[in-house]
Amino acid sequence: MNQQSSSVRIFDLDGAKPQFQSVIGSRTILDADNLPILAGMGAALLRLQKGGVREPHWHCNAAELSYCITGNARMTFYSTNARQDTFTIDPGQLTFVPKGYWHDVENIGNEEAKFIVVYNSERPEDLGISASVGSMPARVLDRIFGINPPGYFDQLNYKSSQDVIIGPKASAFSSTSTIGTPTTNPHKFNLGGITPQIQTSGGTGKLGMAADFPILRGLALFLIELKPTGIIEPHTHPNAGELNYVINGKVRFTVFGPSGQVATSEIGKGQVFFVPAGYFHYLENPDNMSAGTVASFFNNENPEFIGLVGGLSAYSNQVLGSVFNKEPESFSSLPRQMKNIFIASGTG
């Protein structure tokens, strides 16, 4: 059995230097370039200060699922069949963006708006509206708007092929105005406001899956609250990789993979760790005083869960005896529970 360094699957997303940073906001990207173990998943940490705008953009090769940690924002989608959707976003809410859909994010509050954004690609690509316009001839742009050259785009004379990424909102517009902005939309789900589908003595789980958020495709989020010493049952996800972001507190984990690789570590707020599909793993809160919160993202809208309690219970004493090199009778006292425990208490 090989003890694998857990650093190959951990990334300090909050602490890493952003690839883009200005006084109005920052974006820190996590992909296979800075965490090579990633497969089928990537992430970004988006911070927008008051008045900050993440420019309209789209992802060529990935869908996006974002979770609002702090602040208040507004998002506008532009998608197929010339459809526009504009809605507000508050802490605890999920937003799903299908692959290729144009979207922006505006901070409409007075505090920092902070989002953890996850993609179903380890190298998500994006294009922004500013550089896309800058790459086109002005005469073409004028003509598609029905303007005879020399016209508007000749005067605009925008030639840059570099995206703005994050820019300041014009001061003439109020950053707090939400007049005429709907608060509901099929692309948004108030995960923080629902009753947890999982409630045990060890903690709770709010599941953002396709059953409750039907528009999801290729991504999902479990929001896990672990009570002091709470333990997520050792398990596997046959159909999904898992990217975990610690919102509050601490998490200790062990991941077991092919070739006898074992990775064990403890991480804190703002850090991420990745588990490939099918790998055996568990999480626990090592703190015996304070609760911890983890956002567990998956690259499947319906992630499957196979837990150890039911797994051991499914096999006879004779099979277990042969596997563990023990007398079959020694497994007679093993509690047989053909169910998923999900979250257990670490005490009692």
pLDDT per residue over 49-104, tens digit each? 999 999 999 999 999 999 999 999 999 999 999 999 999 999 999 999 999 999 99
Q: What pLDDT, in 10s, does the model give residues 66-80?
A: 999 999 999 999 999
Mean pLDDT calculated for residue range 226-239: 98
Q: Residue 146: how many CB atoms within 10 A of its CB?
A: 7
Domains and CATH numbers, the chain: 13-188 (2.60.120.10), 191-344 (2.60.120.10)
Whether the per-residue pLDDT at 124 is higher than 70: the answer is yes
Residue 9 in contact with residue 35, Cβ under 8 Å? yes
Q: What pLDDT, in 10s, does the model give residues 263-322?
A: 999 999 999 999 999 999 999 999 999 999 999 999 999 999 999 999 999 999 999 999
Q: Which residues pair with 96 in a beta bridge?
A: 65
What local confidence, expressed as pLDDT, does residue 149 receive?
74
Residue 113 in contact with residue 47, Cβ under 8 Å? yes
Residue 116 in contact with residue 66, Cβ under 8 Å? yes
Amino acid letter for position 139: R
Is the pTM of the predicted complex or chain greater than 0.75? Answer: yes
Q: How far apart are the first and last CA of the chain?
A: 31
Residue that wins the pLDDT comparison between 21 and 6: 21
**Mean per-residue pLDDT of the chain:** 94
What local confidence, expressed as pLDDT, does residue 180 receive?
63
Q: Residue 342: how many CB atoms within 10 A of its CB?
A: 22
In angstroms, rounded to a whole number, what is the distance separating the alpha carbons of residues 189 and 92? 9
Q: CA-CA distances (angstroms) from residue 159 to 126, 148, 156, 163, 282?
A: 19, 19, 9, 11, 51
